């Protein structure tokens, strides 16, 4: 018996164990031979013999099963081991490209306003004087209208200098109430470390019945928007001047990098200027033939914001398709 148990335990492989199984449990195996002896055992001893034999068989079966499980597990382990690879070799295989940080920032801004039921509007890049200047309360001789800054074409058309002409087009084509944003490229004739001849803006306009829209509304939405974009920052409004809004203001956020204590990013002022806004000037409404309405408008430059959020040092690098910059945004 001990010897039989030993045989099972000693079996080194599933094949060896199979041989032991045949030897023990097979039709011509040891146990079969033992059971065959039963017919020669006299009646009174038969029962005890049978019980003893069954017990032995059960013990052996149990030993066999245990050994079988162990060998099976060993074999699977061996199989698995044979398939082993150095997974760390594959960690640097990034197949994804990247969105441009300026476009990604613009998308984030658009998503906010879509969620607030603003329509997205667009307009041509090649504009005329009326939509780009005149209708926006910027008559030809206005000091805020710098000729030098505008790209002109031979036929007197120009490249839009801001996204504001989309406001004018939308107002001329539709009726109030209006709630719109206009994202897009704009162009100024300026090229140095902090200026590129093309950059991006998002413009917003809300128009409703007279008396319905106030400066307080403008403050509410822009404060919420700036916190959506920059997280938990303070928002401050300063009076300013734009020809197409009156009253006008600029909105600053407390510097997200130093928490307002002053650092390089905020030029040690603790504040960063983000956008311009105001109540739509009555001359703008007059230009599009709107009576008895009120409205607010705002506009912001995307490059500046993207550079701020992602700490991109060089504005011009944004227009060079430099993969070394872009791949950081994968």
Q: Which of residues 119-138 bind other proteins (CB under 8 A)?
A: 119-122, 124-126
Residues numbered 149 to 208 that lie near other proteins (CB under 8 A) are 151-155, 157, 159, 177, 179-180, 183, 185, 187, 189-191, 196-198, 206, 208
Cis before 328 (ω within 30): no
The verdict on 227 binding other proteins (CB under 8 A) reads no
How many Cβ atoms sit within 10 Å of the Cβ of residue 128? 16
The verdict on 262 binding other proteins (CB under 8 A) reads no
The verdict on 29 binding other proteins (CB under 8 A) reads no
Residues numbered 54 to 93 that lie near other proteins (CB under 8 A) are 89-90, 92-93
Minimum CB–partner distance for residue 247 and other proteins (Å): 3
The verdict on 118 binding other proteins (CB under 8 A) reads yes
Burial of 258 (0-12, 13-18, 19+ CB in 10 A): middle
Count residues near other proteins (CB under 8 A): 90
Cβ nearer to other proteins, comparing 15 with 232 = 232
The verdict on 298 binding other proteins (CB under 8 A) reads no
Q: Which helix (H) or strand (E) holds 185?
A: strand 178-187
User: Nearest-CA neighbor of 288 among 195, 146, 105, 166?
Assistant: 166
The verdict on 259 binding other proteins (CB under 8 A) reads no
Spatial CB neighbours of 64, under 8 Å, sequence gap ≥ 6: 8, 17, 20, 21, 24, 25
Instruction: Tell me if residue 325 falls in helix, strand or coil.
Output: helix
Cβ nearer to other proteins, comparing 4 with 226 = 226
The verdict on 9 binding other proteins (CB under 8 A) reads no
The answer to whether 262 and 269 are in contact (CB under 8 A) is: yes
């Amino acid at each position: 018996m001990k010897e039989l148990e030993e045989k099972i335990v000693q079996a080194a492989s599933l094949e060896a164990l199979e041989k032991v199984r045949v030897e023990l449990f097979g039709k011509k195996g040891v146990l079969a031979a033992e059971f065959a002896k039963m017919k020669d055992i006299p009646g009174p001893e038969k029962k005890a013999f049978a019980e003893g034999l069954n017990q032995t068989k059960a013990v052996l079966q149990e030993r066999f099963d245990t050994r079988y499980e162990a060998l099976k597990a060993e074999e699977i382990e061996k199989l698995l081991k044979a398939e082993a690879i150095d997974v760390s070799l594959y960690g640097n295989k990034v197949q994804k490209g990247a969105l441009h940080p300026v476009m990604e920032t613009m998308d984030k801004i658009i998503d906010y306003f879509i969620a607030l039921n603003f329509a997205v509007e667009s307009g041509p890049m090649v504009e005329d004087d009326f939509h780009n200047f005149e209708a926006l309360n910027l008559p030809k001789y206005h000091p805020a209208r710098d000729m030098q800054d505008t790209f002109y074409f031979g036929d007197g058309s120009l490249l839009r200098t801001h996204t504001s002409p989309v406001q004018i087009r939308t107002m001329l084509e539709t009726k109030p109430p209006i709630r719109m944003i206009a994202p897009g490229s704009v162009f100024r004739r300026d090229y140095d470390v902090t200026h590129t001849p093309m950059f991006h803006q998002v413009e917003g306009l809300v128009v409703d019945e007279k008396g319905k829209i106030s400066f307080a509304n403008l403050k509410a939405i822009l404060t919420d928007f700036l916190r959506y974009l920059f997280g938990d920052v303070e928002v401050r409004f300063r009076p300013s001047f734009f020809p197409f809004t009156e009253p006008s203001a600029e909105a600053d956020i407390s510097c997200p990098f130093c928490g307002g204590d002053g650092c390089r990013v905020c030029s040690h002022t603790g504040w960063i200027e983000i956008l311009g806004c105001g109540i739509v000037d009555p001359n703008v409404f007059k230009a599009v033939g709107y009576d008895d309405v009120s409205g607010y408008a705002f506009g912001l430059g995307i490059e500046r914001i993207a550079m701020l959020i992602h700490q991109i040092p060089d504005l011009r690098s944004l227009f060079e398709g430099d993969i070394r910059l872009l791949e950081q945004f994968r």
